[in-house]
Amino acid sequence: MADLAGALDAALRARYRLTEVKTPITQRRGLTARMNQLEKTLSQQGDRKGSAGVRAAKAAGISPRTWERWRKGEQKPGAASVRKLETLFNRLVTLPRTRRALASKGVPNRVTVTAEINWNGYKNRTAYRTTTLYPMKSVMARVIRTWATAGPEAAADVFQSGTAQAHNVPEEPGIQFEGDDVEIEFP
């Protein structure tokens, strides 16, 4: 199924259903979706047609005329403009949605892991054993923060080191969750 990073990512995505634009910004559909979301976020009651687009363009540091050309499909954005647009989209749309999703569900205190567990140099007799770890609230808060900002690989590293720290296991050899069929659940 998945390694630790993949399993952690799948479990966190299942718990915190984050809505995101899946189409890359380099494709017309992805660009249009991001522009629409930004205009919707920055629109105000009583706006004239196009006012939200002008506001979004200025917030991104792009001229309103360029924004219109992108909207009509007359011109594609350059690399620097794509970075500006993606930065604004993350700041105004993605991060607030992520914060709302995290606040609504809370941080789990128990984590159930099925894997080949190497605990302080000792492996399980049973190849894939299910273990429930608790208390994990402070560790999971760090894992979720890392997952949201740096991705699943960094979150997996924080999970392993945080689990070792929470259970008073020395950092070397620590606790490793190994194998290709790792599963994580939050009961």
Residue 1 scores a pLDDT above 60:
no
Asked if residues 53 and 37 have their Cβ atoms less than 8 Å apart, the reply is: no
Q: How far apart are CA 48 and CA 35, in angstroms?
A: 17
pTM: 0.69
Domains contained in the chain, CATH given: 28-105 (1.10.260), 108-185 (no CATH)
Asked if residues 71 and 35 have their Cβ atoms less than 8 Å apart, the reply is: yes
pLDDT in tens, 80-100: 999 999 999 988 988 888 888
Concatenating the DSSP letter of every residue in 75-93 gives: ----HHHHHHHHHHHIIII
CA distances for 22 relative to 32, 92, 116, 154, angstroms: 12, 17, 33, 21
Residue 2 scores a pLDDT above 80:
no
pLDDT in tens, 115-163: 988 888 888 777 788 889 999 999 999 999 898 878 899 999 999 999 9
8's tokens: 């952690």
